[in-house]
Every structure is written in C-alpha cells, then in structure tokens.
Structure 1
Amino acid sequence: MQSLVIVAHGSHLNPDSATPTHTHADTIRKTGAFDEVRTGFWKEEPSLREVLRTARGDDIYVVPLFISEGYFTERVIPRELRLEGWDPDLWDSEGISADTATLVASDIDKEVHYCGPVGTHEAMTDVLIRRAESVTGDPSVGDGFGFAVVGHGTERNEKSAKAIEYHTERVRETGRFDEVKALYMDEEPEVDDVTEHFDSEDIIVVPLFIADGFHTQEDIPEDMGLTDDYRTGYDVPAEVDGHRIWYGGAVGTEELTADVILERAADAGADIGDAIERVRQQTKPTTLVAGD
C-alpha cells in the first residue's frame, strides 16, 4: 500500500495559502496512483507532527510543496516528522539537486521516502511554461514574448535564488521565448523595473512561489505599475510603459504542479503507472481570448 504525504507551509493569516496543496492533492487522488493522499502543514491542520500518524501505507512518500531547499526542507520538516538520522548531506545537493532520503520516522516506526522540494525539480520548468500558456490563453505562446521568472532575492534566501536561476536558464534553453530573465523583489535586477529589462513588447511575468499571498497579490502588481491599489484589481495584460504585462501570479497555483509532485514520488520509487501523463493531459489550459 502506497501513501503520498504532501507537506506545505500553510498560514494562520492567509486562508488561500493551503488552497494549492489541497487542489494538487485532489488531482493526484483522482489518478488512483496512491492508495491514499494526505496533506500536512507547518501553520495549519493537520500539522506536520501529526500527519504521518494518519498514513496507513507500507510505502510512504513525503513531498515538500516548497520552492527551494533550505530551513524548512532541511530542518523543520525532518524534525517535525521525526526522521531518524536525517542530515541534509543525505540529499547530496548544493542547493538545487535534492533527490530522496529513506529514513525511519520514529513516531510510527516506518520507513519514509523523504523527497526534495517540488520547486527544484526539473519538471517545474514545464509548469512555468504552462503558466505562460494559461495566462495568455495561447498553447503556442512564445514568439515575440519576453518571460520573467520572479523570486524574493539573493539576500533573503541564497538557495531560493539558485532555483530561480536554474529554471530561468532551462526556460531560456527551450528557445521558445524571445527573452528570458530572472528578476527579484529585493535584489537587482528588480521586478519593479520589469519594462527596463525587456525589449519585447509583450512580457509574461511569473513568480516562482507556491501560493498567492501578500507578495504576489499586492507587492508585485503594485511594484510593476499594474495598479496603484491591488484592491481595485488590474488588467491582464496591463499596459505599462509601452509594454503589455501578462502577470500570472504564483506558479504553484498552476494545476500542472500536481505533475511535479508525482515526478518527485516516482523518482523516489513510487509505482504511479501512467498518472503523470494523465495529469498532463487533464490540466491542459483551455484556449482563451486574450484579456478574458
């Protein structure tokens, strides 16, 4: 019996923080790839400390719905799950290549396959591109468009910046977009000046965040000049300094993120059949008229 446990941050203040986690869990449940799919949170219920007690599987796969390796994935989650003998060196990673470590969770006396975060998996590049398709309503979008991947900034989290640069380079290597650049909230090049960093008239902007919150719903739209007050909303695309800005919000809310969770579990040895292909098909965006 296989159990999948998706662990995330959650929030006592933002009721939407856990929404992507529950949405992706539901998507994966529908595939039938796992006998059960559980969710656990640092700041919400069910808590990280309790979630493994609800898992009934003989093979338990834990996938962190986080963007980067760091404090939560390397310290908080293993501690709360009581993973005996955990050490970040078991991932043999320099910041973007964490894979899997199999350890005993002392609380339930079972082995747990502890996976790297979804945000550093190579499949997250596909989610970023899918986000570009979703926000423009064009499954072939690319020619004539610039693409900005947005992160917090290197001073806040060096490993987070590694994830930003990693996926920016992977999107660039596809050759699909005219320009692909990494922008930051707290460091140069800043997302505030997005139009100064691109020659393309159309610019897609996607924050590499798991859930929409203060930064993605308030700070970034106002900083880019999409609106003077986020509460009044903004157009997609929005006209800024002679450019059209297609703002996609947090990439982790894209339905295809469920695929990355499955990829992580499969890399750790989970038998998921054709679930990845089915999720990719089921989550394809509906073609829209630009501006709808």
Structure 2
Amino acid sequence: MQALVIAAHGSHLNPDASDPTYAHADTIRETGAFDEVREAFWKEEPHFRDVIRTLESDEVFVVPLFISEGYFTEQVIPRELRLEQWDPNKWASDGTSASQATLEAGDVGKTIHYCGPVGTHDAMTDVIVQRAETATEDPDVGEGFGLAVVGHGTERNENSAKAIEYHTERIRERDRFDEVKALFMDEEPEVDDVTEYFESQDVVVVPLFIADGYHTQEDIPEDMGLTEDYRRGWDVPAAVDGHRIWYTGAVGTEGLMADVLLERAADAGAGIGEAREAVRELAGSPAKAVAESTSRTGTGD
C-alpha cells in the first residue's frame, strides 16, 4: 500500500488557509492513485507529528505544499515527522533543485519518501501560466500581455526569491508573454510599483503563494492600487496608471496544483498510473476556476 501526505502550513488566524490543501487532496483521492491521501499541518489539526502514525500504508510519500526550500521544509517538517535519518544534504539542492530522500520511520516500520516542495518543481511553471489563463479566461493569453510573478522575498531565506526567479526565467524562455518579470513584497523590484516595470498595457499579476490570506487579499491589492480598501474588493482587470492589471490571487488555489503534488510523488517512485491526466482534465476549466475565485474574494468585472 502507498500513501500520500500533503504537508502544509495552515493557520490559527485565517480559516481559509487550509482550503487549497483539502481541495487538492480531494482531487487526488478521486484519481485513486493512492490507497490513502492525508492532509497534515503545522498550525492546524491534523498535525505533522501524528500523521504518519495514523497510516496503514507501509510506503509513504510526503510532499510539502510550500513554495520554497527553507526552514519549514528542511527543519520543521522532518523533525515533526520524526525522520531521524534526515539531513538537508540528502536533497543535494542549490535552493531550487530538491528532489527526494528515502528514509525509514523505524518506530512504525514505514518507508518515507520525503520530497522537495511543490514550489520549486518544474511543473509549477505550468500552474503559473494556467493561473494567467484562469484570470483572463483566455487559454491563449500571452501576446500583448506582461506577466508578473510575485513572491514575498525575505533576507531570512534567500531561497524564497530563487523560486520566483527560477519560474520567471522558465516562462520568459517560452516567449509566450511580451514581458515576464519577478517582483517582490519585501525587496526590490517591489510589486507596489508594478506599472513602472511594464510597457504592456495588460499585465497579469500572479502571486506565488499557496493560499489566499493577508498578503494576497489585503497587502498586494492595496499596494498595487487596485483598491483603496481591500474590503470593498477590486475589478479584474483593474485600471492602474494607464495599465489593466489582471490580479489572480494565490497560485496555490489553482486546480492544477494537484498535478504538481502528483509529479513530486511520481519523481520519488510513486505509482500513479494515469492520475496526472485525470487531474489535468479536472483542472482544465479556467472559467469555473475564476468564478470560484471571484466569488470567494468579492472581486469581479
């Protein structure tokens, strides 16, 4: 038997923080690829510390639903899972290339495949592009558009910016959008000044965050000038300094994220059959996704 554990941050303050985790877990369950699919959190129940001990499967694939490698993926999750053999060097990563490490949870006799975070997997590039398609309701969006990939940015974790820049460069190499740039909340170039960095009249802004919360639903919309008060919502697109800003909200709410979770597990040796094809079919309705997003945030045309 094989199990998938999706390890996410969760929140005591934002009741919606865990919604994407549960949604993606449900999507993967529908594929039947795993005998068990479980959610686990740092700030909510069920907790990291307990999840492996509740599984019947003897082979477990743990995929962190985090954007970058760092404190949580390299220290907190392995410690709480009690993976005593863990060492960050087992990933042999430069900050964006973590793959997987196979370890034994000796107290329960299970083989644990601890995978790199979803945010640095190559498949995340497709999710960012899909997010732009969802926001514009245009599967061919690109020509005449700029794309901004937005991250938090922080001096405490240089890998945070690396993940943003990595996917930005991959999208730029596709020559699909007229302009592609990485912007940040807490370092230069800042998302507050988004219109200064683009010549394109239409700019899609995709925040590389797992869940919608304080930053994506309050800080960024107000900082970009989409609205003076986030509680009143904003238009999509919104007119700002002669540009149309198509703000998407957190990339982690995109249905195609379930595909990245599957990709991580498959890279670690999980047998998933045709689950990826099923997930891509389930996630392939931009109109439905944007309707759900605008209903949740109170924004719309």
Structure 2 gap ranges (5+): 292-299
Partner of 2:74: 74
Q: Are the structure 2 counterparts of residues 286 and 186 from structure 1 closer, same or farther at C-alpha, using a change threshold of 3 Å?
A: closer
SS at match of 1:7: strand
Q: Deviations over 1:208-239 (max 9, x none)?
A: 11011100000000000000000000000000
Gaps of 5+ in 1: none
What is the deviation of 1:72?
A: 0.3
- In the TM superposition, what is the alpha-carbon distance from 1:105 to its structure 2 partner? 1.8
In the TM superposition, 1:263-278 aligns within 5 A as 263-278=263-278
Give the drift of 1:59.
Answer: 1.4
Per-residue deviation, 1:287 = 4.3
Q: Which moved more, 1:119-128 or 1:104-113?
A: 104-113
Using the TM superposition, name which of 207-216 and 99-108 deviates more.
99-108
**What does residue 31 of structure 1 align with?**
31
| Aligned-residue offset at 1:107 | 3.9
Query: What is the match of residue 173 of structure 1?
Result: 173
> What residue number does 1:151 align with?
151
Identity of aligned residues (%): 74
- 1:198 aligns with 198
Of 168-177 and 103-112, deviating more is 103-112
- 1:98 maps to a residue whose letter is A
Amino acid at match of 1:233: G
8 Å CA contact 1:82–1:106 kept in 2: the answer is no
The answer to whether the 8 Å contact 1:133/1:285 transfers is no
Letter in 2 for 1:202: D
Residue 232 of structure 1 corresponds to 232
Shift of residue 156 of structure 1?
A: 4.2
Partner of residue 6, structure 2: 6
Q: C-alpha separation between the residues in 1 aligned to 2:112 and 2:192?
A: 42
- For residue 187 of structure 1, what is the aligned residue in structure 2? 187
**Structure 2 residue 43 is matched with structure 1 residue 65:** no
Q: Give the 3 Å change call, closer, same or farther, for CA 15–287 of structure 1 in structure 2.
A: closer
Please, which moves more after superposition, 152-161 or 133-142? 152-161
Match of 2:101 in 1: 101
Per-residue deviation, 1:106: 3.6
Matched AA of 1:203 = V
Letter of the aligned partner of 2:272 in structure 1?
A: I
Say which is worse superposed, 236-245 or 280-289, in terms of deviation: 280-289
Q: Is the 8 A contact 1:82 1:107 kept in 2?
A: no
Structure 1 residues 97, 286: CA separation in 2 closer, same or farther (over 3 Å shift)? closer
1:142 aligns with: 142
In the alignment, what sits opposite 2:50? 50
Shift of 1:84: 1.9
Q: Distance in 2 between matches of 1:286 and 1:18?
A: 22
Distance in 1 (CA, whole Å) between partners of 2:108 and 2:11 is 26
State the alpha-carbon separation in 2 of the partners of residues 143 and 247 from structure 1: 17
Bigger drift between 144-153 and 103-112 goes to: 103-112
Is the CA contact 1:185–1:192 (under 8 Å) kept in the aligned structure 2? Answer: yes
Whole-Å Cα distance in 1 between the matches of residues 239 and 278 of structure 2?
Answer: 37
- The 1-side partners of 2:106 and 2:46 are apart by 19
* AA of the residue aligned to 2:230: Y
Residue 152 (structure 1) shift: 1.0
What do you get for the CA RMSD once the two structures are aligned?
A: 1.4
In structure 1, the partner of 2:252 is: 252
Give the distance between the partners of 1:239 and 1:267, measured in 2 at CA. Answer: 42
Q: Do the aligned residues in 2 keep the contact of 1:139 with 1:287 (CA within 8 Å)? A: no
- C-alpha displacement of 1:154: 4.1
User: Which residue does 1:20 correspond to in 2?
Assistant: 20
Rounded Cα–Cα distance in structure 2 between residues aligned with 1:152 and 1:13: 19
Q: Write the distance in 2 (CA, Å) between the matches of 1:226 and 1:71.
A: 33
TM-score using structure 1 length: 0.98
User: How far does residue 286 in structure 1 lie from its aligned partner after superposition?
Assistant: 4.0
Alignment partners' CA distance in 1, 2:274 and 2:110: 27
Count of matched residue positions in the alignment of Structure 1 and Structure 2: 292
3-state SS of 2:226 partner: coil
TM-score, length-scaled by structure 2: 0.95
Secondary structure of residue in 1 paired with 2:50: helix
Alpha-carbon distance in 2 for matches of 1:95, 1:194? 26
Measured in 1, the distance between the counterparts of 2:39 and 2:172 equals: 34
Q: Which whole-Å deviations, capped at 9, do the CAs of 1:149-190 have from their partners, x for residues lacking one?
A: 001124242101000000000111111000000000111111
Q: Which residue of 2 aligns with 1:209?
A: 209
Is the contact between residue 258 and residue 279 of structure 1 (CA under 8 Å) also seen in structure 2? Answer: yes
